[in-house]
Each structure stands twice: as structure tokens, then as C-alpha cells.
Chain A
Amino acid sequence: MNGPQDPTDRIDRRLRQAAREGRGGPPLYGPALRARTLAAAERSARHRASRNAALLAAAVGVVVAGQTVLTGWALARILAAWGWAADAATLGWVVVFSAAAAAGMAAVVAMTDPAGEGWNGRFVRREARHG
């Protein structure tokens, strides 16, 4: 049984008292930390938005390029079936190159202007990295 002189009771009381008094101590959270935290959250959100936009742009580029290749391939097959094999192969290569060019363009856009914000997007990322 825990009596008033029980050491566990005594430690319980002392911890409660220290905690009560500790709450009255100097604050650890203030306006400067608040502002820094809000700025960090804002930077992180912007960084995430621009990263997602870059991924989306790259995905769209890949899909567009893939469709172009498939269309070219289908066209080449149709022309080949009609006996225009040489012309169809040439056309196929033209389509493949233009698809590669489209994918390249999409990648450049994704890297330089991911969120459609102009060059500001790059500054946002740099700011996020270096605080």
C-alpha cells in the first residue's frame, strides 16, 4: 500500500510540482520560430507542386511521343501492305525522329519551367535547397 511517505509517492509529487513550475519557464516557441516554420512549409509545398508538375509534363511528353511512334508505325504498315515498302520505311523513320524531338521538347520544358511559372520555378527550388 502506498502511504504518504512512500518514495514512489514522493517522486510522483515532486515530478508533478517540477512539471507545473516548468510550464511557467521561458517560452521555447516564439514569433521567429513561427515565421521560419511557416516559410519552410510554404517552400516545401511550392517545391512539391513544381516537382509534381515536372513529373506530369514528362509523363505527358512520353505519352505524346509514344502515340506518335505508334501512329507512324501503323501508317508504315498500311503503306507497306500496299506495296510502298521503301516509302513507308522512310516515313516511319521521319515519324520516329519527330517523336524523339517532341519528347526532347517536353523534357526541356519540364526542366526549365515545370510549373509554368517561367524561370521563377528554378529559383524556388534553389531557395528550398539552401533555405
Chain B
Amino acid sequence: MTVREPSGPRAGLAGDPERLAGSLRRLRGGDRSALGELLDAWGEDLMRYLTALTGERESAEDLFQDTWVHVVERIGRYDPGRPFAPWLFRVARNLAYDHLRRKRRWRWIPLGGGPGEFEPAEAAPGPADDPVDRRREAARLLACLDRRSREMVWLRYWGDASYEEIAAITRVPVGTGRSRLHRARKKLAGVLQGPAEETA
């Protein structure tokens, strides 16, 4: 995922500021064909972000659609002088947190597993050799964190976002974001070491 404009083979529209500005201008002018271009540029990253936030693919897909509907409705409020990606991810984040708040009100607890879901941490995970095991291990590690720290870690590593971008998306000062990330890494390091090593 790339909260910052991606580069490399996948860059496409997102990696070309002029084309991106053109698409956004067209969308503002009511040309909804531009939406397809934006979807293709950020669809995968946004879905991964929403899945990481909600822990469920189904909710993430609903929120994904809502996010783009909001983008179409509120594109007039977007400041073209600022980068598009943090604005887009902030729209998605606001919707996701509203959704999570509603869910908590109803005390609904998701059951069962699915792709992208976080598994509860059982024991301190040891080093894994297989990429799939490593992904599971990372998911277990992330599950040890509270939601906000997990989001920051995810944006930093999976989203490849700078501290400034994380601050823009999560609406916290850059210093606060840095220190939250530092605390999260320290906590994860403790989990990785295991209780025996931790107390030693």
C-alpha cells in the first residue's frame, strides 16, 4: 500500500501528479469516468487499509464503497494544493471509526477468521521461515496493540507513509505520532522477546 503517491511499476495515475490533477479536476467537474481511474490507482491500498482497521473483509468492502461515494460527493471540499492520498485515507478512516463506534455500541463481536483478519495473540511468536508464517506472525504481533497504535504501525510499515502523512491521516501532531509508534515498537519488541526474556 502507499499512502504516499506510489512509484515503480504500479504507480500509474498516482505516480503522475499531472494526470492525477487532471482526473481530480474532471471529477470535480462532474465527469464520473475519472472515478474509475482513481479507484484503480488506490483501490488495493485503500482496501488493505480498511481491512486492517476493521479486521473484516466484508465491512471493509462496504466502507470502501462508502468512501468513494463520499469522495464523489465531497470532492469540492478537497484542496487541490494538498496531496490527495492523505485526504482520501482520512475520509476512509473517519467512516471506519464511525462504523467501529456503532459496532461497539451494539456490542457485536466478530467470530471466525478470514483473509486480513487479525488473530488474537496466543504466545510470543518465534521467528518464522515461510512468508505465510511470517505474515501470520506479523498479524499476531499487530493484534497485541491497541487499535490506534496498530493503525500507526500499519500506516508506517504497510502503508510506507511518512510521519507527516500519518499525522495528516490520523489528525495527531507529528511528534505524538512518532512517540506512539516508538511505544508500539517497544511493546512489540517485548512480545517478541517473550515473558521470560522480558523479565530477565
Contact = CB atoms under 8 A, between A and B. Distances in A.
Interface in B121-151: 131, 134-135, 137-138, 141
B35 interface: yes
Contact of A41 (B47, B72, B158): B72
Interface of B: 1, 32, 35-36, 39-40, 43-44, 46-48, 51, 57, 60-61, 64-65, 68-69, 72-73, 115-116, 131, 134-135, 137-138, 141, 153, 157-158, 160, 182, 185-186, 188-190, 192-193
Interface in A34-68: 34, 36-38, 40-42, 44-45, 48
A80 B115 CA distance: 81
A44 B64 contact: no
B194 to A, nearest CB: 11
Contact of B190 (A7, A19, A26): A7
Report whether over half of chain A's contact residues are helix, strand or loop; otherwise say mixed: helix
Interface of A: 7-8, 10-12, 14-19, 21-29, 33-34, 36-38, 40-42, 44-45, 48
Nearest to B136: A18
